[in-house]
Amino acid sequence: MKRFEGNPILESVPGHYWETRTVFNAAALYAGERVHILYRAIGDDGVSRLGYAESSDGYTIDKRQPEPVFTPSNSYENLGCEDPRLILMDGECLMTYTAYRNSPMNAFQISLTKVSLEDLLSGRWNWGERWLPFEGIHNKNAVIFPRKIEGHYVMYSRIDPDLCVAYSEDLKSWCDLKAVMHPRPNSWDCLKVGAAGPPIEINEGWLFIYHGVDFDYVYRLGALLIDKDDPERILYRSEKPILEPQEDYERFGKVPNVVFSCGSVLLDDRLLVYYGGADTVLCGVEYDLGELLP
């Protein structure tokens, strides 16, 4: 395991009203020989918006947009669009995110939208319809598998405290919602567990990074290997975390002792995991696949 030498790779920008406070949890997608990063930013108004940056090598930021590329547009997300996850399927980039509103009921829930790959590569942010797959249900951290399994779209999300799965034929109506992984007693992930970035298909199955939280609210990352044809069958779960807060930028910030990921990319046999440090800055870490699998 090796943290990026340039960590943090993205920080807040004082002159940008929408990202003056924090820049963290980012989706990542490799396409067109570049890593595309959609990150969560919070400005002086406390609203979460999404910014864009890109990298040719995965480590060094080559380009960063001065304006947000995705902003709240519905009443159910008037306080922000949080923690995006991004996959490529059939020429479209499908994004899941957490919609947050100032209401005592249904304050946060999953939302979906999409943009064409062509538009993403050219910087045209023509986002399509936004919709709630589980309207009225408090859940977060949704990821879509990047291909159908037995003819169905597959989603993981967190309904506290468990990692849950659901299936759909059209991305609108979802069924068979059930828990597939629970917190482990007396462990680093004893309070709650949830998705990091979308699963990545490798020869052995689906490589899946997840977050675990303990009773001291320390956020760490772990790894799963999931059966390639059965998303409810976990073949391997790491006993120890693969990443935990150690550096100052992970231990001190808006929310101390947090490493939280929303996206990874696989380049050859190297997995680059992008993560928020202390809910304040965006960082990265690199793994060889052999480090993550038994």
Q: Among 13-27, 92-106, 141-155, which is the least confidently predicted range?
A: 92-106
pLDDT of residue 106: 60
199-217: pLDDT as tens digits: 999 999 999 999 999 999 9
Report the topology of domain 2-292: Tachylectin-2; Chain A (2.115.10)
How large a percentage of the chain has pLDDT more than 70?
99
Cis peptide leading into residue 256 (ω within 30°): no
SS3 call for 138? coil
pLDDT reading at 242 higher than 70: yes
98-123: pLDDT as tens digits: 999 987 666 899 999 999 999 999 99
pLDDT band at 4 (very low <50, low <70, confident <90, very high): very high
pLDDT of residue 105: 64
pLDDT reading at 176 higher than 70: yes
pLDDT reading at 167 higher than 70: yes
**Cα distance between residue 28 and residue 12, in whole Å:** 19
pLDDT reading at 165 higher than 80: yes
When comparing pLDDT for 293 and 60, which is higher?
60
CA neighbours closer than 13 Å in the CB half-sphere of residue 137: 17
Alpha helices (runs of H) in the chain, residue ranges in sequence order: 117-122, 248-251, 289-292
**Cα distance between residue 151 and residue 87, in whole Å:** 17
Note whether 220 and 208 are within 8 A (CB): no
pLDDT of residue 102: 82
113-152: pLDDT as tens digits: 999 999 999 999 999 999 999 998 999 999 999 999 999 9
Averaged over 279-285, what is the pLDDT? Answer: 98
The token pair that represents 32 in the structure block: 């067109």
Averaged over 259-280, what is the pLDDT? Answer: 97
pLDDT reading at 157 higher than 80: yes
**Cα distance between residue 266 and residue 93, in whole Å:** 17
Parse the chain into domains and list their residue ranges. Answer: 2-292
Averaged over 42-65, what is the pLDDT? Answer: 97
pLDDT of residue 103: 75
**Cα distance between residue 199 and residue 80, in whole Å:** 25
pLDDT band at 194 (very low <50, low <70, confident <90, very high): very high
pLDDT of residue 216: 98
